[in-house]
Amino acid sequence: MDTKRFETEVIHKGYHALQHHGSLSPPIFQTSTFVFDTAESGAKRFAGEEEGFIYSRLSNPTVAMLEERIASMENGEKGLAFGSGMAAVSAILLGLTKTGDHILCSEGVYGCTFGLLTLMEEKYHITHNFHSMSDEDSLRSAITDYTTVIYVESPINPTMKLVDIEMVSRVAKEYGIPVVVDNTFCSPYLQRPLDIGCDVVIHSATKYLCGHGDVIGGLAVGKKELLSHLAMTTQKDIGGVMSPFDAWLLLRGMKTLPVRMDRHCDNAKKLAALLKEHPAVENVLFPGDEDFPQYELAKKQMSNAGGLISFEIKGNKAMAQKFMNSLELIKIAVSLGDAETLIQHPSTMTHAVVPEENRMQMGISDRLLRLSVGLEAWEDIWADLEKALNQL
């Protein structure tokens, strides 16, 4: 049965039960290596002349099911699964650059991506700089003769700033530069960057795609030619691959992505409106807020506003930490996209590696908090937030 609707493909794509003894749940091929019928068959597989599995660092049936499913969800030709989101980011960026190249980045990035970019510059002389990407002319002026990758987060972690992916991709194509988009905050249910022109999409699958806080994983999707090349180079040789069991957990988690994302979005919209009215809150950053500076862009490229809210507490870092310590239902943790509502303090946690001057330029103050809205009753989440805010 050939299906097109997202909600159906996240459950069925890439798996045929009757090919696996009728098992409704995909099997876990928990093996490191695979047996060849003959020596000649093994030689042909290594030469690429015969299809089949060789070794689970190269490919594995359970992982392959996941890769086919995420490719379908992002409307891409091929998917790759990695041992973590940062394994995906590092494999893609290293695979697309060489010494002397330049990476142009959105105005902010995840703290570990910032650390990777710093490492690449210090050790391999692959430079980078950050840019607002607010309009075509300024973007063109930021592209150098050595720019080989444009790397974008949208929404940006944790400021929620958006980048016009279609505009960036259109300009990049004039120069023949690939555009890589970290789509973790939206998931393919809310935003599909490949559909609006980008070349590679990356996910920390640990987050919304998993949804249950029990997997570390990364995924990338793009054209078959490019992803196949990266699979046989930076992925294979660096070795940051996903285990079959983690792939199985992700296949299970992704089945409920649409219904989970609807709940995340509904809860976040209600809570953002309430936070905005509380006297202890100075600034709420949420793409679904009509006063959000890029509200129209959010409506253009996202089907809903997502489940993340960033907001600033009135006062200072100590006040922000006091607020966090007063919470009971909401957990202090640095992930996102789980069933549980989580809160973290970016300047001392996820972005602590970023020098203070850079953090300020990115808009990450000591008063900024990032809330990952969970699946609990929104009334209970708000009761916890309100009680802690009132203590300020």
Active site residues: 57, 110, 182, 207
Nearest CA-CA partner of 243 in 52, 57, 100, 117 = 57
Listed residue (69, 81, 85) closest to 7, CA to CA? 69
Q: Residues 142, 194, 192, 25: what is their CA dihedral angle, to the nearest 10 degrees?
A: -140
Measured distance CA(41)–CA(43) in Å, rounded: 5
Q: How far is Cα 369 from Cα 94, in angstroms, rounded to an integer?
A: 32
Rounded distance, CA 260 to CA 253, Å?
A: 10
Enter the DSSP assignment of 149: E
Pairing of strands 200-204, 218-222: antiparallel
Burial of residue 83, with CB atoms counted within 10 A of its CB: 0-12 exposed, 13-18 middle, 19 or more buried: middle
